Chain A
Amino acid sequence: MKLSFSTAAAIVILAFGALAPFIFGGQPYILYVLTLALCYTIPAIGVNILYGYTGLVSLGHMGFAGVGAYTTALLMKDVGLPFVPSLFGGMFAAGFLGFLVGIPCLRLRSHYFIIVTLAVGMILYTLFNNLDGLTGGAEGLPGIPRPGNIEIGSFVLDFRSLTGFYVLTFIIAALTFGLQYILVRSDFGRSLSSLRQDESLAAARGVNVFGHKLAAFVLSTAIAGVGGAMKVLFLRAAAPLSFDMHESINLMMMLILGGAGYLVGPVIGAITFIALPEFLRIAAEMRLIFFGFVLLILARFAPRGICGAAEAAYRKLTDKEANVVRYT
């Protein structure tokens, strides 16, 4: 039996992620960068569901990630809840806000929806920046606690250590990835794809356009909230600049770089965007200039990103017939 490209890539990526602490155990720097990349992978998966499968562009997703992040941080720091309920709290807060924003705004199409997401992102950013009593304003929210230890027999997993936190982030990213995997293979996921390819046709075939878009939007904002929460738990501080417009743009960029509409697209994108330049030692500004050019070239010649190119190569390698609807 031949493996499809998505499954093969997913297995390789998951195996690499699970083995990373053993491979790079002695190199904290690499593990640090990989953890940060995973923190971006989670919201990128959310954007993939929204953009890659449903075809909606959001330029304010890090705003929703910020809502999840601040909620989780406040629940852990001020309320003193343990990690798991706090994370769920952040997820629900971001998802609920997505629900509230989605109900009126998802009726808008094309440019208008993009502008609305941009505006929502900007509003959320001004709120993070100015609600000093709640979010700490521009100085941010320092001293966010890490989750407590887990003891299984004599084995202790300490989340304050880098390896422990990497494992935690990896588990959550893998769960999100699994959710995405189940989602896109379900009838619901196929309906989402049909919306991207031809909305009128999908509606004519009985797909509830608004309901599906809303569900995808809520799901994707909730996932973004989880990602934001993991990011501030990792950095141990929440700052408004982590959730501004440029971060939202970077998030979209990661996804397009990796390959929108591919299961592993967000993972590849986040690792390429965050980790690769770190290892190649490119200065921050040069990195963004470089990725800007990469983006222009991708938009023109390879709109399916790295995964699109990899899939073409894999197809040639395994000589499999092209039977998947191409991403447009």
Chain B
Amino acid sequence: MATAILEQFINGAMMGSIYVLMALGMVLIYGVMHVLNFAHGVLFMVGGYLTHLFFFSWTGSYPLAILCSMVALAAIGVVLERLVFRALRDNLRMQIVSSLGLILIIQNGVVQIWGPHALQMRPASVETLVKFGQLSFTLQHFVIMGVVAAAVVVLYLFLTHTRLGTAMRATSQAPEAAVVVGIDPNRVYTLTFMIACALAGLGGALLGPLFLIFPQMGDAPMLKALSAIVIGGMGSVPGAIVGGLGIGIVESLSTLVIPTDYRDTITFGVLILMLLIRPWGIFGVRVRGED
């Protein structure tokens, strides 16, 4: 039993790390721009496909392929913010409509380009096994956790110790006041989208080799990340980290007790309960009139 718990804990921490990457991106976009980007899952999926593309047809090196796909996703983020979301600021319904439109375009576009079948890529880190007694994990499990931890630290330092990061936090807290002190909100919004999309790309690039790369691979992480940011508190960065890791670990451990089929039922049930009891989340701050 103890080994089973440890195994599920490590698996859960690995999936949780992926959810953290997604949740961080969504929480940044929500916190700074008040846009709920449902298309974040398809960007994650594009990250997986682009890593596959760069790995096989260009660089041949997995880390380099990851970096290239993050850069590409950041560029996609700029395009999305400029062309789609900038004009719809403060228009909640049409932002949702646009993000649904993006899901249709990107998901089916990928099917058109790469076909509906799953792709496989197996860099060395997936082939290498790490053994703990009876248990064995791929090295990729630990690569994912390490890279996500590093990404979280870098993001934290960026948000707290650089001028741009401070500008982002300022815009998120008080947009008008930020303009008064000379911050250009448009630049901040573009930057936010860039970072968030690059994080989604990183997630897809990390998870793709471990499982398969297929057009729906981003759907589940997006929904879990959405649950994570609600449970952690909309707009709260620590909340996204705790929520993401928590969902990953709990849903993994729950498979020891209840059938795997009902894992998602439990996750979304907890999400609904959280919204009913404490809609502003664990770490969020209650804003009157918004919940």
Contact = CB atoms under 8 A, between A and B. Distances in A.
A112 B275 contact: yes
Interface stretch (B134-142, B181-189, B241-249, B258-266): B258-266
Interface stretch (A35-43, A173-181, A287-295): A287-295
Contact of A122 (B102, B262, B268): B268
A166 to B, nearest CB: 29
A126 interface: yes
Contact of B92 (A110, A249, A252, A295): A110
A108 B275 contact: yes
Contacts of A295: 97-98, 100-101, 104
A172 interface: no
A222 to B, nearest CB: 21
Contact of B88 (A112, A123, A299): A299
Interface stretch (B108-116, B118-126, B190-198): B108-116
Interface stretch (A17-25, A113-121, A151-159): A113-121
A119 B94 contact: no
B223 A57 contact: no
A291 B261 CA distance: 33
A292 B268 contact: no
A245 B276 contact: no
Contacts of A114: 36, 96
Contacts of B268: 119-120, 122-123, 126
Contacts of A115: 36, 226, 230, 271, 275
Contacts of A293: 101, 105
B101 A299 contact: yes
B105 A292 contact: yes
A126 B251 CA distance: 15
Interface in A98-152: 104-105, 108-112, 114-116, 118-120, 122-123, 126-127, 129-130
Contacts of A296: 84, 98, 101-102, 105
A286 interface: yes
B78 to A, nearest CB: 16
A126 to B, nearest CB: 5
A126 B279 contact: no
What 5 pairs between A and B have smallest CB-CB spacing?
A295-B101, A292-B104, A292-B105, A119-B268, A130-B261
27 contacts: A55-B93, A111-B234, A112-B275, A115-B226, A115-B271, A115-B275, A116-B272, A119-B268, A120-B272, A122-B268, A126-B262, A126-B265, A130-B259, A245-B219, A249-B103, A252-B100, A253-B97, A253-B104, A285-B108, A288-B105, A295-B101, A296-B84, A296-B102, A299-B88, A299-B94, A299-B101, A300-B94
Interface of A: 55, 57, 104-105, 108-112, 114-116, 118-120, 122-123, 126-127, 129-130, 245, 249, 252-253, 256, 285-286, 288-289, 291-296, 298-300, 303
Given A123-B268, A253-B104, 17 more contacts: A55-B93, A105-B275, A108-B275, A109-B289, A110-B92, A115-B226, A119-B271, A122-B264, A126-B264, A127-B265, A285-B108, A289-B105, A289-B109, A292-B105, A292-B106, A295-B104, A299-B94
